[in-house]
Amino acid sequence: MHGVVPGNEFQPSITLMMCTRARNFIAGIVLLAGTIISCNQPSGEEKSLAYFADSTAGVKTGGAQVVPVETPKGKFNVWTKRIGNNPKIKLLLLNGGPGATHEYFECMESFLPAEGIEFIYYDQLGTGNSDNPNDTSIWDLDRYVEELEQVRKALNLSPDNFYLLGHSWGGILAMQYSLKYQQHLKGLIISNMMSSCPEYGKYADEVLAKQMDPAVLDTIRMLEAKKDFSNPKYMELLYTHYYQQHILRIPIAQWPDPVNRSFAKMNQSLYVTMQGPSEFGISGKLENWDVKLLLKNISVPTLVVGAQHDTMDPEHMKWMSTQVQQGSYLYCPQGSHMCMYDDQQTYMNGIIKFLKETDQGNKKVMF
């Protein structure tokens, strides 16, 4: 009994019992609070139901929506399709070419729905499911900017939710749109497109061309000098010695179906008018396009995506991310121009991280 005050022999055990009851009471309160909080948080199943819910009125179309657009040559219809529903993240996809279709973006369906990210396919005028006016005067960058703004309005996209991803030519359109209408954007992704077409052409001539077999390069240059672009040999050489190295680093016979479908539907009139006859440099209406000195005016959070084996200089892409006011850079070390396929995990994980962190208020994202 040493150390116990006479007359208080049971004091330690009573104190212990009171402490134990207090701890149990507090634990109960914590458990109850956790239960209440968890009840207020939507479950995974509830989130999934909300993502796939279709709140449109009238006959359901699976998310497809035709948008009438005004042009200098009259009114035409362009096609869009929404996948999923997220009031805070709506990603509009601008495909490349110019003249390809939305279809090569179908790989997004394997990644974005699981993350609850809403995305929207969009065939620009003259491509895919949209009207084709067959009028080269309409193949014009500034007109496409105005078309895009009309699409934004029709889809009710706002700075609370509107993210824009432009790939290749779509990157040109995205940059040009942002310089005029960025007040409507929540975030911007410039994927595989330099901010200067003259520097793009220079990179093709001075860096990529030198990586080719000299005999093959001589044949390509000879056909180009003759403007013999319809010669089957021209595209055969490019596909074998250039496209497979710098457009999509997968054996051509194994190119993914969405890519093949999109490229097979290429609007050649639009492509040649804007880009030129091939991806080997640029010689169309976009030949002198350059917004390097204007990037500083882009103030929305911006992700720039570059790839080691791309037709676009990855160092220029990295530099671009330092010129915009809130830039981040995603580098795809195994990728080429279509790095959403040949460096897929890097690309998809990167854009998902950017979208989610930007939604949380982060201005720059580290990779």
pLDDT tens-digit readout, 100-111: 999 999 999 999
Is position 263 within any domain? yes
Of the candidates 191, 337, 342, 343, the residue annotated as catalytic is: 337
Q: What is the mean pLDDT of residues 149-165?
A: 98
Q: What is the pLDDT of residue 31?
A: 43
Is position 38 within any domain? no
Q: What is the pLDDT of residue 41?
A: 61
Q: Are 258 and 249 in contact (CB under 8 A)?
A: no
Query: Considering the chain, what percentage of its residues have pLDDT values greater than 90?
Result: 80
List phi, psi (to 5°) of 74: 110, -170
Is position 212 within any domain? yes
Torsion on CA atoms 140, 297, 151, 258, rounded to nearest 10? 80
pTM over 0.85, yes/no: yes
Q: What is the pLDDT of residue 69?
A: 98
Q: What is the pLDDT of residue 27?
A: 47
Which residues have C-beta within 8 Å of that of residue 304, sequence separation ≥ 6? 189, 190, 317, 318, 320, 321, 324, 327, 328, 329, 330
Q: What is the mean pLDDT of residues 1-14?
A: 41
- Answer yes or no: is pLDDT of 281 > 90: no
Neighbours of 12 (CB within 10 A): 11
Query: Residue 340: which CATH number?
Result: 3.40.50.1820
Is position 53 within any domain? no
337 carries an active-site annotation: yes
List phi, psi (to 5°) of 24: -65, -35
pLDDT tens-digit readout, 237-253: 999 999 999 999 999 99
- Answer yes or no: is pLDDT of 300 > 50: yes
Q: What is the pLDDT of residue 6?
A: 39
3 state SS for 196-234: EHHHHHHHHHHHHHHHCCHHHHHHHHHHHHCCCCCCHHH
316 carries an active-site annotation: no
In the chain, the amino acid numbered 180 is: K
- Single out the residue of 155, 152, 161 nearest to residue 88, CA to CA: 161
Query: 327 pairs with which residues across the strands?
Result: 302
Count of CA atoms in the C-beta half-sphere (13 A) of 41: 8
251 burial type by CB count under 10 A (0-12 exposed, 13-18 middle, 19+ buried): exposed
Is position 92 within any domain? yes
Q: Are 231 and 223 in contact (CB under 8 A)?
A: yes
Q: What is the pLDDT of residue 248?
A: 98
Q: What is the pLDDT of residue 33?
A: 44
Q: Place 5 in a pLDDT band, splitting at 50, 70 and 90.
A: very low
Of the candidates 102, 130, 167, 168, the residue annotated as catalytic is: 168
- Opening angle at CA 363, ends 182 and 111, nearest 5: 85
Euclidean distance between CA atoms 286 and 78, whole angstroms? 23
Of the candidates 123, 191, 309, 310, the residue annotated as catalytic is: 310
Pairing of strands 327-332, 162-167: unpaired
Query: Considering the chain, what percentage of its residues have pLDDT values greater than 70?
Result: 88
Q: Place 23 in a pLDDT band, splitting at 50, 70 and 90.
A: low
Is position 190 within any domain? yes
Is position 12 within any domain? no
Euclidean distance between CA atoms 238 and 245, whole angstroms? 10
- Answer yes or no: is pLDDT of 344 > 60: yes
List phi, psi (to 5°) of 64: -75, 140
Q: Place 88 in a pLDDT band, splitting at 50, 70 and 90.
A: very high
3 state SS for the chain: CCCCCCCCCCHHHHHHHHHHHHHHHHHHHHHHHHHHHHHHCCCHHHHHHHHHCCCCCCCCCCCEEEEEEEECCEEEEEEEEEECCCCCCEEEEECCCCCCCHHHHHHHHHCCHHHCCEEEEEECCCCCCCCCCCCHHHCCHHHHHHHHHHHHHHCCCCCCCEEEEEECHHHHHHHHHHHHHHHHCCEEEEECCCCEHHHHHHHHHHHHHHHCCHHHHHHHHHHHHCCCCCCHHHHHHHHHHHHHHHCCCCCHHHCCHHHHHHHHCCCHHHHHHHCCCCCCCCCCCCCCCECHHHHHHCCCCEEEEEECCCCCCHHHHHHHHHHCCCEEEEEECCCCCCHHHHCHHHHHHHHHHHHHHHHCCCCCCCC
Q: What is the mean pLDDT of residues 281-293?
A: 93
Query: 80 pairs with which residues across the strands?
Result: 65, 122
Is position 74 within any domain? yes
Q: What is the pLDDT of residue 3?
A: 41
* Tally of domains in the chain: 1
pLDDT tens-digit readout, 312-343: 999 999 999 999 999 999 999 999 999 999 99
Distance of CA 88 to the CA centre of its chain: 16
Find the domain containing 223 and state its range: 60-367
